[in-house]
Amino acid sequence: MSSSSDIPSLESLEFLAYIDDEGELPQSLQSQVGIYAIFDRSQILQFVGYSRDIYLSLKQHLVRQPESCYWVKATTIDRPNRTFLESVQTAWIAENGSVPTGNGEAHSLWLDPIATNYAMTTAESDSFGDLDGLAQIKLLKQVARRVEENILAKLQQRGVKTEIRFSPKLKEQGFLDLK
């Protein structure tokens, strides 16, 4: 745990497996306030973020970017301090030598709910405008469920055992986000 004055170097922190041998995310980060860095399979930095609950944030990122989440480094603090966390984020990105894609051009893919409309078939897309409101909601939920199944299958292949539940209300709008 860091105090709000010392900024640990990213290099000095240990790599933690994003998914442990039991298929769980790092339990030690549950309900922990702090900053974290996510790395791909080759330990190349993909994203630096901060959170009031690092574990929940890691879960969201895994669902949104399963192919980019293999390793994590994190440091925690006792109380939320946005200024300190932003300073650490800036320092880690500078230490990396370049802005990770998740903090640059792919920022929204790491932080925003997953839009599922891309998965509509041509027929679904063509008929969408002709449907009434209830039928549109039903179609959006159907498409969201397909994308959800895809994501869950990828996570299962990675050995994830952590419970993943998506918000049913967002599916009606064509989005996926964890509950």
pLDDT of residue 14: 97
Q: pLDDT at residue 115 above 90?
A: yes
- Would you call 47 exposed, middle or buried from its count of C-beta atoms within 10 A (0-12, 13-18, 19+)? buried
Percent of the chain past pLDDT 90, that is, above it, reads 94
Any idea which fold 16-111 has?
GIY-YIG endonuclease (3.40.1440)
Q: If pLDDT is split at 50, 70 and 90, which confidence band does 5 have?
A: low
pLDDT of residue 4: 46
Q: pLDDT at residue 3 above 70?
A: no
Residue located via tokens 């640059």: 104
- Enumerate the CATH 3.40.1440.10 domain ranges in the chain, comma separated: 16-111
The pLDDT mean for the chain works out to: 95
SS (H, E, C) the chain: CECCCCCCCCCCCCCEECCCCCCCCCHHHCCCEEEEEEECCCCCEEEEEEECCHHHHHHHHHHHCHHHCCEEEEEEECCCCHHHHHHHHHHHHHHHCCCCHHHCCCHHHHHCCEECHHHCCHHHHHHHCCCCHHHHHHHHHHHHHHHHHHHHHHHHHCCCCCCCCECHHHHCCCEECEC
> Side chain identity at 72, as an amino acid letter?
V
Torsion angle of C-alpha atoms 131, 134, 139, 143, degrees rounded to 10? 140
- Mean pLDDT across 97-110: 97
Tens digit of pLDDT for each residue in 153-169? Answer: 999 999 999 999 999 99
Q: pLDDT at residue 122 above 80?
A: yes
d(CA 131, CA 158): 38
Tens digit of pLDDT for each residue in 51-103? Answer: 999 999 999 999 999 999 999 999 999 988 999 999 999 999 999 999 999 99
CB 179 within 8 A of CB 166: yes
pTM over cut 0.85:
yes
- Mean pLDDT across 113-132: 94
- Mean pLDDT across 30-48: 97
